[in-house]
A and B are shown apart, each in its own frame.
Chain A
């Protein structure tokens, strides 16, 4: 397993001008690595639906590369979206899955069949143009540049270390993050989208 912070550190130099969105506990580490926050966007606010929102964004912005760092708990709540994505074949969509095998934010309970699901195999079978799986950081570092140059939809599953949170919600350290409307407004300004 790889630390999500290391995934992001390795990925960031290959990001280019891609628009990046995240879901899940691991995704919370992305803002610490990002060097282009104007192109980071928060899309989540419903269980498992960040994937669909990123898919819609990819369809609406075909000339921009859209990168999603998804989580396996979220994806399992909305698994049919893989077929929806494969059906439209957005060439500009790179779908990373950070698989920590647990619901980290609720105390680390395992997701169903947690250690035995081949998400990349699932994405390949359902029709993604390209799929990859990593559980070694060096392998990922070697291939990430090529992955970012591939025609999508691309799916990349990565086994990551869970960052389990057990404290009651009210006692957890609060990260200072931009709100969803703030990130959307900043991205729209960056892209010149009005209305």
Chain B
């Protein structure tokens, strides 16, 4: 296989991924739902999304140092009347269990968590323990969640906001890692 062929296959793969779930879909959904702040730790799959968010003049991106900070920072913003989204990966979500309990579930504010589903795959066996434990973790905490793996699923983000607003509870959107194509 020549270098050109490898490059073409790589570019084709990137384009396919981008066509399945474009970062613009998430940002459009955020804007539609009045999001003011994104509290986040970038992960290896979200760099393009991060760059796109930083470019939006209506959106304030708040980088944090550890996912446990996310729920609490978002709570402060909610108290201030803002509309934050927490954007983290499933590994970090599991790390921040006590924070989700005390600062999100017990707080009585609507919060939407967009969580990268590292290790999830539609085909074959899921081998990454990060993926194996993601949905059991959400179920253990009683967190409702919606799965988004393509542009056509994008309106589920709005559904998550509607549910969060109606229940004043956190609601999770899981992003199918294999398909989102944030990296370009």
Contacts and interface: CB of A to CB of B under 8 A. Distances in A.
Interface size class of B (residues with CB under 8 A): 20 to 34
Interface stretch (A77-85, A152-160, A163-171): A77-85
A56 B73 contact: yes
Contacts of A194: 81
Interface string A52-85: 1111111111000000000000000010110110
A193 B99 CA distance: 24
A88 interface: yes
Contacts of A41: 79
Given A52-B76, A55-B73, A46 B64 contact: no
Contacts of B39: 56
A84 B65 CA distance: 6
B138 to A, nearest CB: 18
A111 to B, nearest CB: 18
A59 B76 contact: yes
A1 B75 CA distance: 33
Interface size class of A (residues with CB under 8 A): 35 or more
Contacts of A56: 39, 62, 72-80, 84
B155 interface: no
A89 to B, nearest CB: 12
A49 B84 contact: no
Nearest to A193: B81
Secondary structure call for the A interface: helix
B73 A53 contact: yes
Given A60-B81, A80-B69, A187-B79, A49 B64 contact: no
Given A41-B79, A56-B80, A84-B64, A46 B72 contact: yes
A181 B75 CA distance: 12
A84 B80 contact: no
B69 A60 contact: no
Nearest to A60: B80
B76 A60 contact: yes
A55 to B, nearest CB: 6
A60 B65 contact: no
A38 to B, nearest CB: 14
B175 interface: no
B103 A45 contact: yes
Interface in B17-68: 37, 39, 60, 62-66, 68
13 contacts: A49-B71, A49-B72, A56-B79, A57-B76, A57-B80, A59-B73, A80-B64, A81-B64, A81-B65, A84-B64, A87-B63, A180-B107, A195-B81
Interface of B: 37, 39, 60, 62-66, 68-82, 84, 98-99, 101-103, 106-108
